[in-house]
Amino acid sequence: MARIVMKFGGTSVADIPRIRNVARHVKREIDAGHEVAVVVSAMAGKTNELVAWVQDASRQEGSSLNLYDAREYDAVVASGEQVTAGLLALVLQAMGINARSWQGWQIPIRTDSAHGAARIEDIDGSDLVRRFGEGQVAVITGFQGIGPDKRIATLGRGGSDTSAVAVAAALKADRCDIYTDVDGVYTTDPRIEPKARRLSRISFEEMLEMASLGAKVLQVRSVELAMVHKVRTFVRSSFEDPDAPGMGDFDNPPGTLICDEDEIVEQQVVTGIAYAKDEAQISLRRVADRPGVAAGIFGPMAEANINVDMIVQNISEDGSRTDMTFTVPSGDVARALAVLEKNKASVGFDVVQHETGMTKVSVIGIGMRSHAGVAATAFKALAEKGINIRAITTSEIKISILIDGPYAELAVRTLHSVYGLDKQ
C-alpha cells in the first residue's frame, strides 16, 4: 500500500462526464489498495470568468484604474475549486467510494498574507491521515489556503499544481501525479509545435527553468517544492482510458517524471524550448552613467512589485550618458512608467520609450554547462529566418532571446528543430 496525491487540472474536470472519468482514475488507485488525496482545479475557464467578474464589479466610474481589494478577489476566485471538489466527492460517493471534500481552511493549508499570490507556509495533514485510516478519500480544493488574517488566500494562477505538491510533501506521499490535458512534459508546447516529443524524464532544474520561462504545464512554485521536499512527481494525462494497461503501474506510470539530474541516463545538450508572450520593453535614453543609477531605477520597481526581467545597459559613448533597456510583463507597463516618471529627477534620464507585444523564447538544457556554441546556433538559426533579436540573457543552463511577438511561433519551431528536438 502506498500514499498517492492525484491532481486534476481545469480541462480534466471541465464538466460532469469528465469528473466521472477522473473518478475512475481515483477508483483504480483505491482498488490497488492505495491511500489517495485528490487535488482539483476549477472547471476550465471558470477562474477566468470569476476574475473578469471581480474586475467588472470593482470598476470605478470615471477612472481607468481597476484597483480592488485582493482579499475579496480571493474570496471570489477561490470558489471555482470549491465546486469541483464537492462534485468529485459526490461522484465518488455515487460509485460507492467513501470520499469527502476539503477546502483549504478546513485542513488547514496555511499561507502567508500575500493575497492573490500567497505562498503555502504549513499544512496540517493529521486529519487527512486519520481519515485515510478510516478508508476515506480526501478531495481537496487546489489553489487556496487560509492566510494569517483568517481569510481565504489564493496561490496565483496555476496554483493547484503547488497545492498538490505541498499536500504530497506534508503527507509524505510516495508519489504526486499531476494529471492534465497532455500526456507529459514535452520538448516544447505541443500546441505550437506538433513535432514536440514527450520527455520520459526531466530534471528539477530544467523543469524550473521551463516553467519560469513560460511553459505553463506546471506552476513554478510546485517545481521548487518538489525539488526541495524530494516529491516524486509525474505529469500525465487524464484523458487516457483510466483502466488501460500500465495506467496503474506504480513505479513507472505513463508520463514524465520530474527528478534529480543523476536519474537521467542520456542527457541531451538542449532539453526544451519555452516561450513567454506579452513581454514589454522599456528603454531609458541618455541616463547618467554613474554609480547608483541602476539601483535608482530598479529599487523603486522592486518596491512596486514589478517583475523586471532582461536588463541591457549600453556602453556610454561620451562617458557621461548611456541607454538602459529592460523588460517587464505587458500588464505591468503602465505601473512601471508611472514609477519611472516619479523617480525621473533622482535617476536623471532624458526620455522613456516603451513597446509591448514582445515574446521571450528560451532554450533550456543542463548539457549547456559543458558545451560551447549553443547560443551561437540559436542566433544563426533565427537570423536565417529574418528574426531580429532585441535582447539576450543567459545563465548556465538557459539562453533567453527577446523578439517581436508575431515571430513567436516561427522562432519556437526554428529553435526546436535546430537542436534536433523533433528527432527521436
Contact residues for ligand ASP, defined by CB under 6 A: 9-10, 41-42, 47, 80, 142-143, 157-161
Of the residues 23, 35, 40, 41, which one makes contact with ligand ADP according to CB under 6 A: 41
Our finding on whether 80 is near Mg ion (CB under 5 A) is no
Q: Comparing C-alpha atoms, which of 182, 213, 184, 196 is closest to residue 417?
A: 196
Our finding on whether 158 is near Mg ion (CB under 5 A) is yes
Our finding on whether 180 is near ligand ADP (CB under 6 A) is yes
Our finding on whether 255 is near ligand ADP (CB under 6 A) is no
Residue 19 in grid coordinates = 469528473
Our finding on whether 158 is near ligand ADP (CB under 6 A) is yes
Of the residues 182, 213, 340, 378, which one makes contact with ligand ADP according to CB under 6 A: 182
Cβ closer to ligand ASP: 79 or 93? Answer: 79
Q: How many residues bind ligand ADP (CB under 6 A)?
A: 20
Cβ closer to Mg ion: 104 or 158? Answer: 158
Our finding on whether 362 is near ligand ADP (CB under 6 A) is no
Our finding on whether 130 is near ligand ADP (CB under 6 A) is no
Q: Which does 397 bind (CB under 5 to 8 A by kind): ligand ADP, Mg ion, ligand ASP, none?
A: none
Classify burial at 335, counting beta carbons within 10 Å of its beta carbon; exposed 0-12, middle 13-18, buried 19 or more: middle
Residue carrying C-alpha cell 532554450? 363
Question: How many Å apart are CA 333 and CA 341, to the nearest integer?
Answer: 12
Please report, to the nearest 10 degrees, the dihedral formed by the alpha carbons of residues 162, 168, 172, 175 taken in order.
-120
**Displacement of CA 223 from its chain's centroid (Å):** 9
For 145-181, the DSSP string reads EE-TTSSEEE--TTTHHHHHHHHHHHTT-SEEEEEES
CB of 125 to ligand ADP, least distance (A): 23
CB of 307 to ligand ADP, least distance (A): 20
Q: How many residues bind Mg ion (CB under 5 A)?
A: 2
Q: Comparing C-alpha atoms, which of 390, 403, 395, 407 is closest to residue 360?
A: 403
- Which helix (H) or strand (E) segment holds residue 133: the answer is helix 126-133
Our finding on whether 159 is near Mg ion (CB under 5 A) is no
Residue 405 in grid coordinates = 511577438
CB of 102 to ligand ASP, least distance (A): 16
Residues in contact with Mg ion by the rule CB under 5 A: 9, 158
